[in-house]
Amino acid sequence: MYLKCATRSAYEKYSSFQMIKFAIRYSSSRPSHQLIFDRKAKKFQRERAAIREDVELYDYLKEEIGFRLSDRIFDIKREFENAADLGCSRGFLSRHVLAESVKHLTLCDMSPTMLSQAQGTPGLRISKKEMDEENIEFAENSLDLVMSSLSLHWVNDLPGCFSRIIKSLKPDGVFIASMFGGDTLYELRSSLQLADLERKGGIAPHISPFTQIRDVGALLNRAGFTMLTIDTDELVIGYPSMFELMWDLKGMAENNAAFNRPAHLDRDIMLAASAIYKELYTKDKGVPATFQIIYLVGWKPGPNQPVPLARGSGEVSLKDLGKMIESSSKNKKKK
């Protein structure tokens, strides 16, 4: 009897030890972030969109955002030696970047077909690298500029992506990007949800989630970026009906890629959602679709950047600011 108890006790200890080893191995293999988007599905969607014969018909939105984002690069009066375009797609940003601003540009995308179609402006030295923007691989302190246009909203580990970007930047390097914000396609999202509630009594995630502007600022600060500039813009595009909008989203490779997306969208739900869309949002014999664009600029800390003065070093109180303005205006009138 004593021997049985001892054997059982040893077995229990061995089992506990094995369970602990398995738990450690399992937890170490799991990602530290939540997997929301299926990156393999997104790569397939981009490849499918890129091989279409009429692929240029669906460039209008990304072409416009790429042009607007390139203006922000021109606002920085500096010549960048090495730059990278993450998620370059078909070159919607690189085709507006001039050689006077950037000497060498590395185009990165996980879709080889889209990467082959991306081009730059005359005189701009370009190299192409097939790379998932979720796992970028650049040497530390090797880039002067990192830019991305309408790609980072599909990244699962956005904090990790920002951390890798700031590591690849040189001191005083800059990160410029645009991404879809949380109010994007709210008309389509609400119409599909109402149709789901009516036909099935519940809702399904037909539209992928997007990042809120307040979260972007917090994540950039957490990664170590300074002198942040974050603003939003809205583009409202009209379509004949909901079906043309969904067709164009597929042509842009911006259709749903969330892991929990439904495999099929029933015909009766689509017809009900289209009717709800028209009833709630019809304008000028068509339906609008809102695209909220978040523009962000962040700098890696450097020795030549302006630094705020130490707390308490001010020589003028804000209480006296009004009196100083009044006295200066009176002196101007006397003169």
Tokens 């495999």 correspond to 263
Local structure of 304: helix, strand or coil: coil
Cross-strand bridge partners of residue 129: 108
Low-confidence winner among 12-21, 78-87, 145-154, 284-293 (lowest mean pLDDT): 12-21
> Per-residue pLDDT for 317 more than 80?
no
At 2 the pLDDT is: 38
For the whole model, what pTM was predicted? 0.82
At 32 the pLDDT is: 58
Report DSSP letters for 253-272, one per residue: T-S--BTT--S---HHHHHH
Provide the edge-to-edge strand list for the sheet that holds 102-109: 125-130, 102-109, 80-86, 143-149, 169-180, 287-299, 226-239
Task: Return the ∠ at Cα 264 (arms to 260 and 269), rounded to 5°.
Answer: 105
What is the rounded average pLDDT of the residues 101-118? 95
Neighbouring residues of 48: CB distance < 8 A, sequence distance ≥ 6: 253
Residues counted in the chain: 335
Residue spans of the domains in the chain: they are: 39-182+208-251+289-300
At 335 the pLDDT is: 59
At 16 the pLDDT is: 45
Q: How confident is the model at residue 318 (pLDDT cuts 50, 70, 90)?
A: confident
Q: How confident is the model at residue 310 (pLDDT cuts 50, 70, 90)?
A: confident
Query: What average pLDDT is seen over the chain?
Result: 87
Residue 67 to residue 149: CA distance in whole angstroms: 10
Q: How confident is the model at residue 215 (pLDDT cuts 50, 70, 90)?
A: very high
One-letter amino acid for residue 115 of the chain: L
Q: Directed axis angle between helix 242-251 and helix 186-200, to 10°?
A: 120
Spatial CA neighbour of 135 closest among 107, 168, 157, 114: 157
Dump pLDDT digits (tens) for 49-88. 999 999 999 999 999 999 999 999 999 989 999 999 999 9
What are the distances in angstroms from CA 42 to CA 46, 47, 111, 165, 257?
6, 9, 9, 21, 6
CATH superfamily of 39-182+208-251+289-300: Vaccinia Virus protein VP39 (3.40.50.150)
Residue 263 to residue 48: CA distance in whole angstroms: 18
How would you classify residue 102: left for phi > 0, otherwise alpha for psi between -120 and 50, otherwise beta? beta
Q: How confident is the model at residue 315 (pLDDT cuts 50, 70, 90)?
A: confident
Dump pLDDT digits (tens) for 98-108. 999 999 999 99
> Per-residue pLDDT for 27 more than 70?
no
Low-confidence winner among 158-167, 200-209, 234-243, 304-313 (lowest mean pLDDT): 304-313
